[in-house]
Amino acid sequence: MNEIKIFSPATVANVACGFDVLGFCLDSVGDVMVIRKTDQKGIYITKIEGFNLPYEAELNVAGVSALAMYDALKPNCGFEIEIYKNIKPGSGIGSSAASAVGSVFGMNELLGRPYNKTQLTAFSIKGEALASKCEHADNLAPAIFGGFTLVKSVNPLEILEIPTPDDLYVTIIHPQIEIKTSEARAILPKNIPLNDAITQWANFGSLIHALHTSNYELMQKSLHDAIIEPYRSQLIPYYNDVKTAVLKAGALGCGISGSGPSIFTLNQGSETANNVKDAMEKVYSKTGIEFDIHVSRINKEGIKIIDCKN
């Protein structure tokens, strides 16, 4: 196998009470990448479509994670990378994570899988850090493992695969506004009330229990964020209107995807997910802000091969 075409999925990180540690993988949104072995050693980005991103491997998220793996393994070949980007950078659904995992996943397949999924995540962290200026894995892990993942710690890297109930659907709106990650970080408090923290870990523990037991009612009761949402939601126009409308339409929970501006909901069943889509549309179509909405199952498989060639 000399060439591989992959689908690298979008992901939602934070997930309300799971700030900084929980994420899940989307099914219907993602980038396509082609990775090709070359005789010439090194990492070469040869094509980028969709968005304007740097071709220099050292300046490109996919290139940096590829180089991290390449330098560790020192294979007797090089790699060309083509990126067909569908996930808009800065949308809050793991655009840089999709690029970062795509290159290392593809190379790993072409080389006969020398690395496991946790190791691939570790290489991807290097690429992700180029985009977000800090090492975190809460979008990377669900892209690589699929389903829900809990990043227990980054140093050492410890990723837990949490069960995904079958009937869970995501509806996610991406308002076409820009939120700088630096601003989304700067707005957070350094200290928080102990009582709020207790509420948050009660909800988070309950959410993990609910995912294990497919208890949708408990998911609904647990998907609250007492700590981050009050700050970051201020950066997203009409956030509270969207939240009120989607909960009324039956969503189990609603929160900021990553650091925004995308807003995700989790829903039981596709019918509710589509009702939630309509509710989101109704709110945002009045605002004059452009937006996309996606309805997706939770992708249990994660990043996957679409095609391969010798």
Residues lying near a copy of itself in the complex (CB under 8 A): 17-22, 150-153, 158, 160, 162, 188-194, 197-198, 200-209, 212, 218, 221-222, 227
Give the C-alpha separation, 88 to 96, whole Å: 9
Which residues are paired to 5 by β-bridges?
A: 34, 307
CA distances (Å), origin 119, targets 6, 106, 134, 305: 19, 14, 18, 19
Cβ of residue 13: shortest distance to a copy of itself, in angstroms?
13
How large is the angle between the packed helices 61-73 and 117-132, nearest 10 degrees?
A: 140
Give whichever of 16 and 254 is closer to a copy of itself, judged by the CB atom: 16
**DSSP 8-state class, residue 155:** T
**DSSP 8-state class, residue 45:** E
What sign does the dihedral 15-16-20-21 (CA atoms) show? negative
- Which residues are part of the catalytic machinery? 128, 181
At 135, the amino acid letter reads E
Give the C-alpha separation, 187 to 181, whole Å: 10
Cβ of residue 176: shortest distance to a copy of itself, in angstroms?
30
Give whichever of 26 and 227 is closer to a copy of itself, judged by the CB atom: 227
* Ramachandran angles phi, psi of 261, nearest 5°: -85, 0
Cβ of residue 200: shortest distance to a copy of itself, in angstroms?
6
Cβ of residue 231: shortest distance to a copy of itself, in angstroms?
11
